[in-house]
Amino acid sequence: MALWARAAVRALRLWGPGGERAWARQPRITGGSRPGSRSAGISGVHGNGGSGGTEKFSLQDVAELVRAGACRRVLVMVGAGISTPSGIPDFRSPGSGHYSNLQEYDVPYPEAIFELPFFFHNPKPFFALAKKLYPGHYRPNVIHYFLRLLHEKGLLLRLYTQNIDGLERASGIPASKLVEAHGSFASATCTVCRRTFPGESFWADVLVDRVPRCSVCTGIVKPDIVFFGEPLPQRFLLHLADFPMADVLLILGTSLQVEPFASLSAAVRNSVPRVLINRDVVGPLAWCPRSRDVVQLGDLVHSVEKLVELLGWTGEMKDLLQRETGKLSG
């Protein structure tokens, strides 16, 4: 009870009486030079807010707002960085990312593997990559289960993911809470007759290095992964309602380089804390920071574990991980 009371008092000071955000009443200073990149291994906050830019907002501040019940609609954006602890390379890291290791696929340039003209010319490289991403090869990690815990506590407004590995689903987050912005392997569509297929129907071919074909017209069956130039799924339009409602935005493991996903990070209200947990400062948080931005740099697992500790959820997190590990060994 004492811990809760301290958190509530802290939240009252941060938000102001009557639940109004205290910082929303302060004028925000804009402009300034574009910040430089920070190196991994450093954690901290940055902003360009009031009091001559000296005011700071920390990860602990955000945790205390959540604990006190002042932030109950947590919006999350994630990228490939949350899946690297599960053993899945990201796409853009020099040397280790998928884009750096595509020589074996004989593609003219890395992004071609997700371009429709090249896919129709030679679909084999995409399906070779898809085989490596087969959902059964990887398991969710502590970051995915932290997001699951957010959902179980009734705090997860929505999880927007760039990932196509399906680990968010595998961790137990329901589809109603997910927006898979770049599609997924959960379904597939014939590129000729547009007949739809369940995701598992094409894996039998992919896992033995065959290009999957439609059983009706023999057209190539393409998983419902969004290629460059393709429209995003209809569910992506949920952002029009979700982002104005958010109390806090968590951004984890993304380079914020691919649009329109990247621009979502600027779509929450200016008064809403944005927490970036990442290797580098990226996107609008780098070139247009806000006074209530929190930047936690370094190893994602360690950073998430720190946030879990600040939230007072360490015991519950351990219990969840033990339950899920037990399912795998059972």
Q: Which residues contact 235 (CB under 8 A, 6 or more apart)?
A: 179, 180
Report the 3 state secondary structure along 262-288: HHHHHCCCCCCCEEEEECCCCCHHHHC
Tokens at 330, concatenated: 């059972």
Q: Give 7's pLDDT tier (boundaries 50, 70, 90).
A: very low
Residue 98 has pLDDT above 90, yes or no: no
User: Exposed (0-12), middle (13-18) or buried (19+): which is 316, by Cβ within 10 Å?
Assistant: middle
Structure tokens at 6: 């301290």
Task: Label residue 56 exposed, middle or buried (CB < 10 Å: 0-12, 13-18, 19+).
Answer: middle
7-16, 38-47, 52-61, 192-201: range with highest mean pLDDT: 192-201
Over residues 139-185, the pLDDT tens digits come to 999 999 999 999 999 999 999 999 998 999 999 999 999 999 999 98
| Residue 279 assigned ligand-binding role | yes
pLDDT at 326: 75
Query: Which tens digits make up the pLDDT trace of 283-312?
Result: 999 999 999 999 999 999 999 999 999 999
pLDDT bracket for residue 89 (50, 70, 90) = confident
Residues with a catalytic annotation lie at: 182
82 is in an annotated binding site: yes
Q: What is the pLDDT of residues 122-137, one digit of tens each?
A: 999 899 888 888 877 8
Q: Is 143 annotated as a binding residue?
A: no
254 annotated as a binding-site residue: yes
Written as one string, the DSSP assignment of 234-264 is GGGGGHHHHHHH-SEEEEES----STTGGGG
Check whether 214 is labelled as a binding-site residue. yes
Residue 161's DSSP bridge partners are 78, 180
217 is in an annotated binding site: yes
pLDDT digits (tens, 9 = 90+) for 237-263: 999 999 999 999 999 999 999 889 999
Any binding-site annotation on 288?
no
Delineate the domains of the chain, giving CATH numbers in brackets: 57-86+140-182+235-329 (3.40.50.1220), 89-137+183-225 (3.30.1600.10)
- What pLDDT was estimated at residue 109? 85
pTM (two decimals): 0.79
Length, in residues, of the chain: 330
In this structure, are residues 158 and 74 in contact, taking their beta carbons and an 8 Å threshold? no
User: What is the distance between the terminal CA atoms of the chain, rounded to a whole angstrom?
Assistant: 38
The answer to whether 255 is annotated as binding is yes
